[in-house]
Amino acid sequence: MRDLLRFQPLYQERVWGGRALETALGRKLPAGEAIGESWDVVDRTEAQSIVEGGAHNGQSLRSLLSRHGADLMGPKWQVGKPFPVLVKWLDCRERLSLQVHPPAAVAGELGGEPKTENWYIAQTTPGAELIVGLKRGVTREQFERAIAANTVEQCVHRFRVAAGDSILVHSGQVHAIDAGNLILEIQQNSDTTYRVYDWGRVGLDGLPRQLHVQQSLRSIDWTDFEPAPLRAAPTSGVIADGPEFRIRRVVLGAGERTHIRAGEQPRLISVLSGMVRATPEGNGTRSPFGQKLNPGDTVLASYAGAFTFSAEAMSILLVTEDFV
């Protein structure tokens, strides 16, 4: 298997979602729904990516891993293991709940999965903000009292963001995305989220959404004070690096290229801006879906494949690697 793989997006209705994936990325969304998330690469029992186009059109990511695991992921891949990364777009028309993902040390005990995630800010409205971590010096006791008094906003760290900013949010960091952000989220393959506070909001059914206060209090890192985002820069470089994955920002001027070599590792390539043409290298390799990649597209470059990505206009890519 030496193909680039692109998958059909799985759209998720959310009370805080909107229609920005339609206007900003040219997606065709389900009519009349507030779409908060697009799961573009996912391998879970409840949600499965399906290949769009090419020789493997209509096949699931899970089935490809079962039948072509070594070519897709490398010779050390363990058959039966799920794909380690989940890639999604978030349209945060309104503020998300204040939440936390359990760290590995307590996730099993709580019946959940750890989740470290990276947020890349693709677009914002003026004044858009993120909440990540605690204000310096806030204690668990102060935080619990603030929940009861509905004053949690006084305990959390809030900061302005602009397009091109990013931040790596680790399991255990309390966080929320404020209104007016369009974000590419690259995360561990997990769907465990504990809501600790929901700003008095009701869900799509008109009822208050479930909270997980005790699980959240067990999961929050009470030493995590005022983390800083990585601000936008016009240069290539690493924007996230941890045991779960590594993400590089690649900035290409018109006519410039970047290469993916065969036999190194699988990689996810996400286009944030511009226009990129993907060309396979080597004999007998075909592009399965046409070679043009537009903003919002994410493709999986297999371990066995080699590709050149050429910018037809000034372009920004994210390359996710080191997840196997």
Is pTM beyond 0.85? Reply is yes
Which bin fits 277, alpha (ψ -120 to 50), beta or left (φ > 0)? beta
Those residues with Cβ within 8 angstroms of residue 153's Cβ, 6 or more apart along the chain or in another chain: none
Instruction: Describe the chain by its helix, strand, coil percentages, rounded to 5.
Output: 15, 40, 45
Structure tokens at 121: 């800010």
Alpha carbon separation from 69 to 74, 75, 201, 302 (Å, rounded): 7, 8, 44, 10
User: How confident is the model over 290-305, as a mean pLDDT?
Assistant: 92
Contact 154, 124 (CB under 8 A): no
53-99 residue pLDDT tens: 988 999 999 999 999 999 999 999 998 999 999 999 999 999 999 99
Please determine, for residue 199, whether its predicted confidence score (pLDDT) is greater than 70. yes
Domain boundaries, the chain: 4-219, 237-321
**CATH of the domain spanning 4-219:** 2.60.120.10
What fold characterizes domain 237-321?
Answer: Jelly Rolls (2.60.120)
Tell me if residue 158 is catalytic. Answer: no
Please report which helix (H) or strand (E) contains residue 141, including its range. Answer: helix 140-149
Q: Report pLDDT for 290.
A: 46
4-219 and 237-321 in the same fold: yes
Q: Which of 93, 95, 195, 267 is catalytic?
A: 195
